Amino acid sequence: MPITVDRSLPAEGESLFKSEEKIFPEIMAKPGQKAFVFIHTVPYEGSVLLVNLLTSTRLVRKGFDVSIVLYGPAVLAASGTRGYPTVGAAAFPGHLAINEQLKTLMKEGAKVYACRFAMGALYGFGETDLIPGVIPFNPLDVLDAALTAWTEGAFQMNTWTV
């Protein structure tokens, strides 16, 4: 016979966790340390891309020189033509969260790259459609960016979803 647990709902503002407890040391970048975040995922279909961008923001704030490489469907995140009913207008709260996070990253010093092949061959948009500041790149640069990260001893984070 199952036992029914009867408990009251915690009040707003009460904590269910020891959120101040941190297990691992707080690591900060040493001068000149780099991080490359490679993202190949479908934006807006889940939280992966936004979580990667939030993690990238944390890397910037820890002092890393951050490069974000958007390729495959992830290039859609860098579209500067999103919005409804007009470009730049949020149809609902959070609608443009990814676009805003990319702008925050670039404002704080991160470099954001978008693959020209994916933009044109897959999705039919050009460089002038990118969020200002996003750097378009040759598809051959995906591998060379990873090799650059490797040869420079940079931290790498890779997300690949379809």
Given a cut of 90, whether residue 161 has pLDDT beyond it is no
User: How many other CB atoms are found less than 10 A from the CB of residue 14?
Assistant: 7
Domain annotation covers residue 14: no
The domain of 91 spans 34-160
Question: Mean pLDDT for the chain?
Answer: 95
pLDDT in tens, 129-146: 999 999 999 999 999 999
Given a cut of 80, whether residue 162 has pLDDT beyond it is no
- 33 falls in which pLDDT band (50, 70, 90)? very high
Domain annotation covers residue 18: no
Domain annotation covers residue 72: yes
Residue 82 sits in a domain of what CATH number?
3.40.1260.10
Domain total in the chain: 1
Domain annotation covers residue 131: yes
Q: What are phi and psi of 137, to 5 degrees?
A: -140, 160
Q: E strands, the chain, where?
A: 34-40, 65-70, 111-115, 135-137, 155-160
Query: In this predicted structure, what is the pLDDT of residue 49?
Result: 94
Please, where are the H alpha helices in the chain? 48-61, 97-107, 116-117, 141-151
Q: What is the pTM of this model?
A: 0.90
- 46 falls in which pLDDT band (50, 70, 90)? confident
Strand order in the sheet with 65-70: 135-137, 111-115, 65-70, 34-40, 155-160
Domain annotation covers residue 53: yes
Domain annotation covers residue 4: no
Distance CA 148, CA 134 (A): 19
Query: In this predicted structure, what is the pLDDT of residue 21?
Result: 92
- 128 falls in which pLDDT band (50, 70, 90)? very high
Joined together, the tokens standing for residue 79 give: 């579209």
Domain annotation covers residue 109: yes
